[in-house]
Amino acid sequence: MDIKVVTGNIVEQKTDAIIVNLFEGVDKPAGATGAVDKALGGLITRLIASGEIKGKSKESTLIHTQGRMVPERVLVMGLGKQKDLKLDTIRSVAAEACHCLKQIGVKTAATIVHGAGVGGIDPEPAAGAIAEGSLLGLYEYRQFMTTPPDRTDPTELLIVERAADRQEALERGAKRGVISAGATKLARDMGNEPSNIKTPARLAEMAMEIARSCGLEATVFDKKQMTEMGMGCLLGVAQGSAQEPRLIVLTYRGDPARKDTLGLVGKGITFDTGGISIKPDDGMREMKTDMAGGAVVIAVMKALAQLKPGINVTGIVPAVENMPDGAALKPGDVIRAMNGKTVEVISTDAEGRLILADAILYGKKLGLAPIIDIATLTGGMRITLGDVCTGAFTNDQQLVTELIAAGEQAGEYIWQFPMFEEYKEDLKSEVADVANHGGRGAGSIKAAHFLAEFVESTPWVHLDIASTARSEKDKSYIQKGATGVSVRTLVNFVLARAARNGK
């Protein structure tokens, strides 16, 4: 669907439908909704009085204009209580509106800028939220469907604003929203792709294709090269699979004059059986999404190449399959990381932290700082936070505070966990420098402490997206399956950092 910003009167748009809104508790609409109400002879006011329209959040009411306006249909969307309005409300309303219009076969539509009037939301981010919500709300993964969809998406959405002096800001916001949504959809596609196709080599090929198309620097290391670098943790996980591992490195140089470079590291387990510590059959098919962190990093790098902020960023994705053949790691084995530190393998199902350790060490070798890693790391995160929040762990409070704010702007909530030293006690090993698993209690925190052993003093945040990388049901602009969570958070974070540097 194409999204465009135009200046004009919403009532006069030559589209199949227009979208207006209403706050809960409003008796008589004003602004653009009031203009539509007037054109319809007060019909919206009468529907409010009858109780058919209440303005509750995401409530939708379809009105046929019967020739009284150029558009044939008006969709009135509820915004909820004005005091509760936020950017994510706008995203959700845009998604629900597009769902409704798709179901009735609408091809072209126009919308007012939700929240940019009495709602008090700045027009630029409001336009971005409309673009994100609309495009993400229409997302479907149909790569292997041989039958056509029952309904096709609308082809065009116009964001209409009467004030011409706002058009430039709205266009900036809409462009950013389109790019962020596109990157999120890319991460969803990668997460939903079956693992018989999405091997480590295929993931690397996808990253290289994106790099070539967007002008990113790209390097892919193979097994031989990783062996020469001493990446024993990453290679240990890979040794049980017939699919050889890859280490993907993408770099965006938005400010070549600066030497400092932000590092993003994403877990890329293209399928996780648990290895010798094999997972139960129930839900194992979802492990095709165990590379969600890697997908996020690749997608964010593509978005940055399109948005062109003045900042340097390198993304690293260790891509591996975790399989249980005769050569696989065994509980009790000892392996050696890139920096020489030895690790006792307590559970082969705690493999993500092993590949991240070597990837983080490689990032440190490149001089990346700060480093943010993103991983579907621990099943305990879903028990702790459900599918509402991503967990965050850090050695730098300012850094995680910035990420939490970026997540709130994206509607992707982040909750910070403690990193008390006492949790490290359970990672002690009798035969190696550190164990890769410390028992079920506080497992997510202990996993973060394992990573901290390799991060050391580098400013760092670990995002555990195990609870948010997949959704079990459709909800607003999130569909069942891979969510692409953290793509928009990290795009917001990088852009805010670049803006802080005047870039």
Instruction: List, by residue number, the catalytic residues.
Output: 279, 353
CA distance 171 to 9: 17
Cβ-contact 405, 483 below 8 angstroms = no
Q: List the structure tokens of 139.
A: 């997302």
CA distance 371 to 360: 8
β-pair type (312-322, 268-272) = parallel
CA 183, 131, 94, 123 dihedral sign is positive
CA-wise closest residue to 319 among 449, 424, 182, 207: 207
Would you give the end-to-end CA distance of the chain in angstroms? 30
Contacts of 314 (CB under 8 A, 6+ apart): 249, 250, 251, 252, 261, 262, 263, 264, 363, 366, 368
Count of Cβ atoms closer than 10 Å to residue 366 Cβ: 13
Tell me if residue 423 falls in helix, strand or coil.
Answer: helix
CA distance 63 to 50: 15
CA-wise closest residue to 3 among 99, 86, 94: 94
User: What are the b/e assignments for 256-291, b being 16+ CB within 10 Å?
Assistant: eeeeebbbbbbbbbbbbbbbbbebeeeeeebbbbbb
Cβ-contact 374, 316 below 8 angstroms = no
